[in-house]
Amino acid sequence: MSSFSIRQPVLAMLLVGVLSGCSLAPQYVRPDAPVAASYPTASTQSPSVVAAADIGWREFFPDKRLQALIASALDNNRDLREAALRIEEARAQYNIQWADQVPNLNATASGSRGRTVIPGVTPGGTSVVTSNYQVGLSLAAFELDFFGRVRNLSQAALEQYLATEEARRAAQISLVAEVAKAYLAERAFTEQLELAKNTFESRQKAYGLAQQRFEVGATSALDLRQNEILVQSARVSYLTLQRQRAQAENALTLLVGRPLTDLPPAQTLSEQNIVTDIPAGLPSDLLARRPDIRSSENRLRASNASIGAARAAFFPRISLTAGIGSASNELSGLFESGTRTWSFVPQLVLPLFDAGRNRANLSLAEARNNIAVVNYERTIQVAFREVADALAARETLEEEIEAQRKVQDAQAERLKLADLRFQNGIASSLDLLDAQRELFAAQQQLIQTRLLRLTNAIDLYRSLGGGLQENAVASGTATKAE
């Protein structure tokens, strides 16, 4: 039989295997989002306002020092590096799985030489030395994917790869937000530390005066001890804030991935013009804007494809093994006429009894798919809650800052009046000390409220999918908060 007559059925079977394959995977249907159609406290936004996902982090964070920290973190953070390497791992795994859909051709060469004893009339028989040399091409066990088993495994690997890539994007968004929050926390501790230092120094001076007054009998021991309590309280606050600021700086260094050197000057919290008036949109927009939701859906698609592969295991599996080449008992005669060889070995495997293995594999794939559905729905619910919480806080934090500022101003005025009354002998030193204590608490609380307002804006930016772009991808206007 000529080689052409052999090639025809082989190519025909390969073509049939490629073109007539079907998939037994369930048709994918995206689960309904288990959340409300709108956010509880979402306000109507102007259509000219840019969506969070379209605002670059350089526009959202105008502080040059913070921009440098974020850029450094994107280059040096080890968690983000690991996420990027996970993408390479998933891509390689997909390429391995995809290769099973394509025939693998191998060049082969072999040689053997042996001595065989043939029994005969002579004692010990007759020895014969034989040689065999072969070269050629071989097709090793290529599966004709009639029922989509290989194709579904490849699709599952592809979806896992896409999920890993989306997970890296989600990690970047989280990293940008965490660096910004850590930086603002460090700034808040720095401002509180400076305030505590000034308060401690002023109370030390006041305590020295109180001690002098006590020594001359102008004040009582009770007044002296009250002053001493204020001094030590300020000292405790100062030392506590020193520790907290150092720890906040260490946390920021870990996120950035390198020492915090060669950075632009820092800005105070009141100078942070972070964008706050971000449109919330609809919960359905999160499905396209949040990489973690897209990653969860990719994993759901992968589990759906795995069901198809598990179902295909119940059906016959057809594989082809073939080869063509040249063989000779002399190495020099390998390519002479008449030495051509070929082989064609189709194989059909039909599952008959496997002690329930295939059924268990299908049940496992279906269970994992159900778990993936639950994870996908939970991811949407968590995203909805994050946005709703940030919106709820945004509604009141501006008023809280204004109210706290008025409290601070009132306490400052109270301290002036208490000091004036004390100097004129109208009020006791206890009134003055209480006014000092209340003013310090009000000043600290104003810093905390400013920090809370800024971190809330960052949380809303992150929860709406912002932080993936470095620069804005759409034009528009946005309001910046003090």
Q: Domain spans of the chain?
A: 31-101+145-315+363-463
Residues 437, 229 contacting (CB under 8 angstroms): no
Count other C-beta atoms under 10 Å from residue 93's C-beta: 15
Q: pLDDT of 24-33, one tens digit each?
A: 888 988 998 8
The mean-pLDDT minimum among 2-6, 27-31, 346-350, 460-464 falls in 2-6
Q: pLDDT of 127-182, one tens digit each?
A: 778 888 888 888 888 888 888 888 999 999 999 999 999 999 999 999 999 999 99
Alpha-carbon gap, residue 365 to 359, rounded angstroms: 10
Give residue 4's pLDDT band: very low, low, confident or very high (50, 70, 90).
Answer: very low
Structure confidence at residue 482 (pLDDT): 43
Coil, strand, or helix at residue 327?
A: strand
- Tell me the one-letter amino acid at 277: D
The residue that leads in pLDDT, 119 or 453, is: 453
Please check the confidence at residue 19 and state whether its pLDDT lies above 50. no
Sole residue written with tokens 């996902």: 53
> Residues with Cβ < 8 Å from 93, sequence gap 6 or more?
157, 160, 161
C-alpha distances out from residue 192 to 186, 238, 240, 265, 396, Å: 10, 8, 10, 18, 23
Residues 130, 116 contacting (CB under 8 angstroms): yes
Question: What would the two tokens of residue 132 be?
Answer: 């065999």
Q: pLDDT of 290-327, one tens digit each?
A: 999 999 999 999 999 999 999 998 988 888 888 888 88
Nearest to 150 by CA among 11, 356, 310: 310
Sole residue written with tokens 């230092």: 197
DSSP state of 348: E
Alpha-carbon gap, residue 188 to 206, rounded angstroms: 27
Residues 379, 31 contacting (CB under 8 angstroms): no
Structure confidence at residue 5 (pLDDT): 45
The residue that leads in pLDDT, 332 or 479, is: 332
- Tell me the one-letter amino acid at 293: I
- Tell me the one-letter amino acid at 435: A
Which homologous superfamily does the CATH classification assign to the domain defined by 31-101+145-315+363-463?
Outer membrane efflux proteins (OEP) (1.20.1600.10)
Alpha-carbon gap, residue 147 to 316, rounded angstroms: 9
Structure confidence at residue 123 (pLDDT): 65
Question: What would the two tokens of residue 15 be?
Answer: 């073509």
When pLDDT is averaged across residues 389-402 and rounded to a whole number, the result is 89
Q: pLDDT of 50-92, one tens digit each?
A: 788 889 999 999 999 999 999 999 999 998 999 989 899 999 9
Structure confidence at residue 133 (pLDDT): 83
Pairing between β-strand 126-144 and β-strand 340-349 as defined by DSSP bridges: unpaired
∠ CA 181-187-191, rounded to 5°: 145
Please check the confidence at residue 20 and state whether its pLDDT lies above 60. no
Structure confidence at residue 10 (pLDDT): 47
C-alpha distances out from residue 173 to 50, 423, 459, Å: 18, 57, 11
Type and span of the H or E element at 104: none
Coil, strand, or helix at residue 109?
A: strand
Structure confidence at residue 124 (pLDDT): 62
Nearest to 321 by CA among 96, 21, 10, 5: 10
Give residue 472's pLDDT band: very low, low, confident or very high (50, 70, 90).
Answer: confident
pTM: 0.82
DSSP state of 480: B
Type and span of the H or E element at 317: strand 317-328
357-423 and 429-463 helices, crossing angle to 10°: 150
Nearest to 287 by CA among 304, 275, 302, 300: 300
Nearest to 177 by CA among 309, 60, 46, 288: 60
249 HSE (CA, 13 A, CB side): 12
Q: What average pLDDT does the chain have? A: 85
Q: pLDDT of 113-124, one tens digit each?
A: 888 777 765 666
Nearest to 286 by CA among 386, 391, 390: 386
Structure confidence at residue 121 (pLDDT): 57
Residues 266, 65 contacting (CB under 8 angstroms): yes
End-to-end CA gap in the chain: 88
Structure confidence at residue 476 (pLDDT): 43
Question: What would the two tokens of residue 26 be?
Answer: 């369930």
Structure confidence at residue 477 (pLDDT): 40
Residue 144's DSSP bridge partners are 318
Residues 210, 428 contacting (CB under 8 angstroms): no
Question: What would the two tokens of residue 273 be?
Answer: 């013009």
Type and span of the H or E element at 349: strand 340-349
Structure confidence at residue 447 (pLDDT): 93
DSSP state of 330: S
Give residue 372's pLDDT band: very low, low, confident or very high (50, 70, 90).
Answer: very high
Q: pLDDT of 203-225, one tens digit each?
A: 888 888 778 878 787 777 887 88
